[in-house]
Structure formats: C-alpha cells, structure tokens
A and B are shown apart, each in its own frame.
Chain A
C-alpha cells in the first residue's frame, strides 16, 4: 500500500511536470485528485485495511495528497503567469501612435479679450450692459455733449441710415441709455459691443470693430477712483508689474479727459519696438463724466459725479498677441483663429 502510494506520487509529479498549459494541468488534477481518481480510490479502499493501520495510512494518503496539491498549485500559478505574460506580450502597442482626436473649437480672439475684461470688471461689482448697434443720433451724440454741428463730430465719420439714425460709432450710447433708465441711481457698468465708422479697411482701420466702455456714477466719485480702477485693470490684463500714467486728452463727454498709457509689457519700460522706444503704450481713453452728460440724463451734477473709460479690444489683442493687421480679425482664416486655442495664454 505504501509502495503503491509512493509510486502514484511519483507518477503524478511527473504528469504535473509534463503539463505545459493550465488546461493540461487541470486534466491532471481531475485525473489524480478528482473524485474518480486513484487517490480517492485509495481512500475508499481504506475500509479493507486492518483497523490499527487505518490512521497511519490515512495520514500518509493525506500527506501525499497535500504535497501533490501544493506542487500542482505552484505549477498552475506559474503556468497562469506565463500565459498572462504571453498575452500581455501579444497585446503590446506602440504608445507613440497618435490618439483619437477630441475636436474642439475656440473663441474668436476678440471674444476672448472681451470676456477677460468683462470678468475682471464683474469681479469688481460691475454689470454688463448692452444696447442697439443701430442708434439714434440723440444717444450716440447729443446725449454725450456732442450737439449737431459740434466740431468734434468730425472725429467720427459715421454711417447714417437716416438723418437721425446711424450705426453707433462707440458703445457710449449704452451709457447714455443706462443713465436715462437709472433715473439718478448709482451705476457701475461696462458696455462691450460692435461699433462702426465710415473708414476704408486697411491694416489699421476697420469699418467695423469692437469697443468696451465702462461707467461708474455715484455720489462723490473722484478722479483718483478712476486712476485706482484703471491701475488694477492694467495689472490684471497686462501683468502685476504694469504701471500706468495718465495724459491729458479731450473727449466731448468727459472733463477732465485723459489717455492712459501702461508701462511696456514687452521691455518693461526700457524702450522697444512695441512701445516705439517710449517705454509706454497707449491703452485707453477715460475721464470724469461731463456735467452736461449727467444733467441731460437727469443727474444732479453738483451731487453726483462719475468716471468713464473706453478701449478697443482689437488694439489690446494686437498688442497682447503681436497681431499686425486689424483685418485678420474679420477674415476668419482658420490658421489665425485656431491659434487662440490655448486656455490661459
């Protein structure tokens, strides 16, 4: 019995060694360790043994069964590992091949600049006001201290529809409309939008362009408030190190009027081709709201005051991204537009 057992053990171990894949090994398990296998048969035949030998033989059978099972499982694990390795080898890919593209578009560069400006002023508590692109002469000029025949109207050659209606030449009429609607209440708005001037299109002129203007009206709004606001804006838009300077200028709807320069973001003020060697770049026009404009909209200009500013997103985009021709914005060449894909540049 003991000999038979040992012979059987040797036989099983040899079969285990022979098995070259998990299926063959499983067959071995079934053949020798299964319910119909020789080891089970041996255990079944135990009843025929004398009672005193039974425990000894039972223990021996169990030892052999356990040791064979152990070897078999080891072998099984090894074969499975080899099989997985072989599969992994087969499934290996060239990870440098191009991925499946996720096609997304992007904002037009002007929308990008406008939204950046909007978001800054929204964070400062401003609302965004919009108005019609076809405007009444009254809101576009008269309500802004530009009566008919005013010499400054020559500055803005306009597209008229009728004697009293025109394509707005700036977004300032939105300010005039807002003031009229607010009936003396404080205001904090910015007004983005399309505007039109009777220009022939060339590298620096476009008959259609965009503008974004701001207006703050309240009790005791000071010129220092304008300067502080614009300084924060310049830093946000063009970098923390930017400094601003105000130069006297003239707009019919503000008094005093200023133009704002920022220290050159390319050379930091040393002088380069972007700032034309001056160290400064002109960015926007601004001023304290002219008392006539306030009064015309129903504000008491001795109590209420305000500031306004306006800028051209085209100019800002041209400076920021180094664009040399304003017509690029309206040609819509995809080789141009797709360059503004990156989210944070």
Chain B
C-alpha cells in the first residue's frame, strides 16, 4: 500500500510532523513503513508553459521548434514529442533545472536552433510509465487548459508529496484504504478523523425502475448494492484525481473508472462500473459460473470458469468475474452514457479461490480476499455516486437496487484489565486502557471493572481477548514493557544422549581433519538412491521447481561428491568433507517417510602434506578405515565392528568394504569406482556413508575401570607366509581363538608381497602379547599358549611359519 501524505491530510492533521518521524511512529506502533518516496526527487525550476507556436525544425523531421510562454518570458524550446501542438499547456523544465537521475537542463543548440529548456513527459518527472495515462504514455504530458502559466508544475502535478510504502502483514487489511490508515494515524497522534462527504441531488427517476437484481449465490455474495447513473460524460479526470491515483500506483483511465478506483483506495471497498446499455437486459444476476463457461476480462484475455467461481451476469452471460475483474463486454467506454455502479460484499474464500484458479489478481481481489468492512459497502457507493455526479455531470437515479443478508454486527469482547496486565506483565490502569481504545475509535464501556468492547467492523483482526491485549500494548508502547524472566518449575534442560552423541561424532570427525558441509535434501530422481544403504520408495514433490530438486534423497554422498568436484575444479586438490543429515525412506508408517540420520564423508588428494620433511601421503583406504575405527571407538564400540569386502555400485570392487556392528550392516567405506572418478573429474577418492541412528542406537555397557596390570606382559612376534587372499581378519580370528585368555593383544605389524615371497602368497607378521592380570607368567605357560597359536595357524589357515 502506497500512502500519499498529501492525500492523507484530507482526513487527519499531520502538518508539522516530519515525514520520517511519522513513518517511525507508524512502524513502532504496528505497521511497518518500508520506505518513504519523495515524489519531488529534489526537482526545481519546473513550470507550466503555454505553447504559443510550434513549427517543424527545418533540419530535422522529428523535431519541433516551439515558442513557449513560461510566465517570465517567451522562449524557444525544441521538442521531439509527436503529440506536441500549439495551444497546449505543458510542463517545462527551465535551464538550471535538475530532473531525476541527476539530469541537468541547460541551454543548448539542436541542429542549429537554440533550445532553452525541455518540455517534459511524466516519465521524465520519475512517474512510472505504467502509471502514465495512455494518451500521454508515448509523448509529453498535456496539462488542463486552466493551468496557470509560469506556476510551479510540480505542485500542480502533486509531486510535492511524500509517499509512505507500507509493508502490511496479512491481518492489517484495514490499512489497505486511506481511511484505514487515517484511523491508525489518528490513534497514534490522538486526533479526530475528517470523514469524506457524499452529497448529490438524486434524479426523480428510480434505480429500481431500470435495473433488476437477483443474487442466486447468497453464501458467496451476501450483499450486493447497485446504483444507476445516467447522462454521464466520459472524459479525463481532473488533475487532482489523476495525481492521487498515480501517487497510489494506479493508472488513470477516465472519470468513471478513476472514481471507482479512487473510492477503492479511500474506503478499501472495491467498486465496479458497467455500461448499462451494454448490459442489454437491464438485469443483474449474481450466480456461480457454469463449469467451462467463458468470459473475456478487461485485460482482453479469455478466461474459462469453474462451477465454484462467482460471476456477475446480465441474466444471460457473465459480465464480470465477481470481485476479481470486469468483463470486456460491459466495459465503460468513451461513448458510455448510463452506468451501473456496483458495490458488493464477496466472501474472501470465494474470491481467493477464483483469483488463484484464474491466476488473476487485482486491487479488488486483494481486498476482498482479506475481508472488506461490511459497513462500508453503502457509504462507498454513495461517495462514488457523488463524485461521478460531480466529475462526469451524471444524474444519479434515486435509491439503490440491493440484496442484503450480511451480518454487520460487531464482535463483542469482554475482558478485565487484570487479565490484560497479567498477560503483559504490566500495570496499566483502566483509565489508560479506555483512553487507548478511545483513540482507536473503538466502542468501549467499563462495566463492573470489565472492558466491554464492540470491535469495529473495519478492523477484521480484532476478534478475541488477545487481539485487544495487542491493541493496548502496541499503543501503550512495547518499550514500556518491563523485562522479566519466566517463573517456571525448574527442570534441567540440556541435550538428550542422542544429541550429545551426535555432537561427539562431529567433534571427532573434525578432529580427524574433516570439514562439515551442508547440502540440499532435495535432489534429482536419478541420483536419489545412488549409494543408498537401503532403498525404499522415493518421496516426490507434487510441484517441484526443477527436476534437479524434485525428490528427497536416500543418501548423502551424491551431493557431497558434487561439493568435492566443485572444490577440485577450483584448484583445491585436497578435500576432506563430511555431513550429518537425514535421508528419507518412504516406508509408510503414519503417512510420513522414515527419516534416518546418516553420516557420510569424502576425502581426496593429499592426506599428509608435510613435504619439506619428506612426508607427503595421498589418502588411501586405510585413512578412511582408521577414521571409522576411531569414531566407533569414541562411541564406545570397541568390539564387534567388522569390515567385509564388498562389491557395490559405483565403488572400486577391490577396495570397498561393508561395515558391520555385530551382525548389522551399518554402512560402507571404500574408493570410488575409477569410472565414477573420471565422470566427476576426481582423482583417487575415498568415501564412507553410515547409518548414524543405527550406530548410536547400540546399547553400551557402563564404563567401569579395569585395574592397571601389575604383572609384566610378554611379547612374541610371528611371521607367516599365507595365500594372498587370506584376510588379516581371518588370521586374527584364528590367533585369538587359539591364544585363549592369556593372549591380550594381537597387532599386525608387517605385510609384504613381492620378491622373495612365492607368487600368490604374502608374508604377514603379528605381534602377540600374553598377560595374566593376577600374576607373572612363566616361560612354559607362554610357550604352551604360543605353540597352540602356531599350530592353529598352520592347520586352519595353511600358514607357513617364517624364520
């Protein structure tokens, strides 16, 4: 909503208050003023001129040489506008003037002819081209004949004005009208309101004699008022009216249409004017449209209607989409002599539905959607009738044609001052509350210490007690509310164990060198299940913005890889990223997909980068595995975590493992398949993705300390030659089983394949530690246990002992 302060002065006294102060006070008490537009843009030296003579420039087809009386003198100005003509009153920027955009006007010579200033279009005065009346949209603006030569043209055009830009919240539709704004400003400034007048002399002819009205859809249209005005002269509106419309962002058309728009802005009540003769039937019937029924609206677009759309018809065919836009077939035009003026109450839900279905909004539909004041339907049409009588010399027929089943009783709210104060934490007196409500022009009485309020129908947002509390608080001033803290039963807050563990995971991974990322949950259908740990039906959007973001992901890795490629492409060769986020599995439970927290990571490039001491290492499988093992240990999963070689889509078949906790697969780790690396422009890249919820759900035993051993441990190393495919894990299992209770630790410390080892075999060495917490072990005991291990390795794993 654009509020001209010049116009606002018609209703409320704001002279003497600087506009920025006014804006601030409005903002602080409830309606955000987003900006202040100075319509003068600092322009000076712009005056009314009279074109005395206008001849073609001898040297240029498109230029005219004009002799213009600017009051002080008659001067020559060259003008290129096609619509310039002798006899016109025009807007002249004199030499020395500065127009918007720091456009300085100087004396100049154009093709040898002197030009002392410029004849202006409205666009040159910073009026949006969309608002300039069509007749002047392509050329200079022509002023009315009675414009006084030499006078200030900015004043004449109403540009000595500041416009407040309101950013209205949906509840404050009352401020979609100048009167509504006036009520608000009057409450802030504690002032009275000057109401608009509507006086005219009605003709003796009665409206009901020429127009019949029938409303068939009273639920959607509980009130419809129509007046008939004869002998109107369609012409340009007076300048003051055009100026106000342009200031409010509406393009002037002709006096009748302009008046309907003006009253819409003034009262917030949309009006519409039909050409009576074009209606043809002398009848108005409001009904729901027939499914598929067509109408061409004022914007010359054919619209196909649905059965729940409300239409105004002439009894035969639609002549307007109710509350949204008029039909082209009944439009007021230059030759119109009789009009039917409509003021109605269409319900918000009905207009919203129609507007949404047709993809068509208007100043009218915006207001109906939010709910107009039932008590302004009649005053608005009377005001419009009076203006049309005055400006179009029309004869208003007596009375109105009306259907009225609209409930206009105000909402009654009874509330005690104590309740208000208890909710605010304040001590505002009853008198103060009454004074605030009086300033808001709210009907209120104090009955037995209670406030009994009849909420004004113009304020659709005042319905319940809390609305009254808000009105009192905002007018009293939020600055006056004290600062306290809630007094509640004290209960400890804090993170749940799950939330705490999730923080531990992040801290560990960051400590290990990975950076946290956040990527989008929405992805393309194609990549939604890539690298997923388990797949389920995909959750799809009904109306995605793009295919790229059309479904919810079931794995994090695809987006994490995207981020990796992005970074590598920008010469960050070494990238280490992780993310903890939910994935979505559409396994119907209670109508929502299952959301599972995953943790995923990508590492590529150098892992150790300490070149000057000769320590530079690329990332490899065991870096990622080490991170996972470390994380599991941090989470208390010291045993039961195993890795098994796996073949997975998109992964290197020889360098990928499934990760198990107990017998549950919780994720995988490995190198990307080289073809995937190539597709994504990556070098050797390692990844993992795990189901974090599953890992964190493992029940841990309580931590109890084990006494530090007091007796020495004894170490024995074994070197073995085994078949290449025998896994370290298999050997370790054999060793541990055979070693029994005394064997406390098994550590792999050497691995070799190549020269001196038979083809198809590898040399592998373990360091074994034997210990008894209760005593010192004897040599014999250790030898006995160790021999068992060696025997088991030979027989169960086909190992050959070396050295």
Contact = CB atoms under 8 A, between A and B. Distances in A.
Q: Is this pair of chains taken from one and the same complex? A: yes
A186 B493 CA distance: 13
A9 interface: no
Contacts of A331: 563, 566
A291 B464 contact: yes
A23 B722 CA distance: 52
Contact of A224 (B32, B171, B483, B549): B483
Contact of A250 (B172, B499, B511, B541): B172
A246 B481 contact: yes
A297 interface: no
A122 B516 CA distance: 23
A89 interface: no
Given A122-B495, A134-B592, A222-B423, A248 B474 contact: yes
Contacts of B575: 334
Contacts of A154: 170
Interface string B457-487: 0000000111101100110001101111111
A152 B221 CA distance: 22
Contacts of A249: 32, 169
B409 interface: no
Interface in B469-521: 469-470, 473-474, 478-479, 481-496, 499, 503, 506, 509-521
Contact of A105 (B426, B464, B474, B513): B513
Contacts of B379: none
B515 A338 contact: yes
Contacts of A225: 425, 484-486
Nearest to A222: B425
Interface stretch (B291-299, B332-340, B608-616): B608-616
Contacts of B31: 248
Interface stretch (A11-19, A52-60, A226-234, A267-275): A226-234
Nearest to B552: A134
B517 A332 contact: yes
B577 interface: yes
Contacts of B520: 207-208, 330
Contact of A165 (B509, B515, B591): B591
A128 interface: yes
B640 to A, nearest CB: 27
Contact of B478 (A115, A133, A246, A330): A246
A128 B496 contact: yes
B736 interface: no
A258 B519 contact: no
A199 B313 CA distance: 39
Contact of B170 (A151, A208, A245): A151
B484 A224 contact: yes
A159 to B, nearest CB: 5
Contacts of A223: 423-426, 473, 481
Interface in A172-198: 186, 188, 194, 196, 198
A97 B169 CA distance: 62
Interface string B520-547: 1110000000000000000111111100
A290 to B, nearest CB: 7
Given A100-B610, A151-B369, A207-B549, A333 B567 contact: yes
Contact of A337 (B509, B516, B549): B516
Contacts of A238: none
A333 B499 CA distance: 27
Contacts of B521: 133, 167, 194, 196, 208
B287 interface: no
B591 A133 contact: no
Interface string B146-171: 00000000000000000000000111
Given A149-B349, A330-B519, A288 B466 contact: yes
A216 B425 contact: no
Given A162-B542, A337-B517, A121 B493 contact: yes
Interface residues of A, number: 85
Given A133-B595, A135-B592, A224 B424 contact: yes
Interface in A135-153: 135-136, 149, 151-152
Given A132-B592, A225-B484, A228-B484, A105 B516 contact: yes
A160 interface: yes
Given A133-B521, A333-B567, A105 B515 contact: yes
Contact of A228 (B348, B478, B485, B499): B485
A305 interface: yes
A193 B31 CA distance: 30
B423 A216 contact: no
B499 A161 contact: no
Contacts of A188: 486, 488, 491, 493
A218 interface: yes
Given A126-B493, A128-B499, A247-B32, A98 B612 contact: yes
Most buried by B among A121, A231, A256: A256
Contact of B516 (A97, A108, A126, A222): A108
Interface in B358-381: 369-370
A222 B464 contact: no
B778 to A, nearest CB: 43
B434 to A, nearest CB: 19
A20 interface: no
A47 interface: no
A125 B473 contact: no
B486 A134 contact: no
Contacts of A330: 518-520
14 contacts: A105-B509, A105-B514, A107-B510, A108-B517, A134-B595, A167-B521, A167-B552, A188-B486, A222-B423, A227-B482, A228-B485, A229-B485, A332-B517, A332-B567
Given A115-B503, A122-B493, A224-B426, 12 more contacts: A103-B513, A122-B494, A125-B492, A128-B494, A161-B541, A196-B521, A216-B486, A220-B487, A223-B481, A307-B486, A331-B563, A337-B515
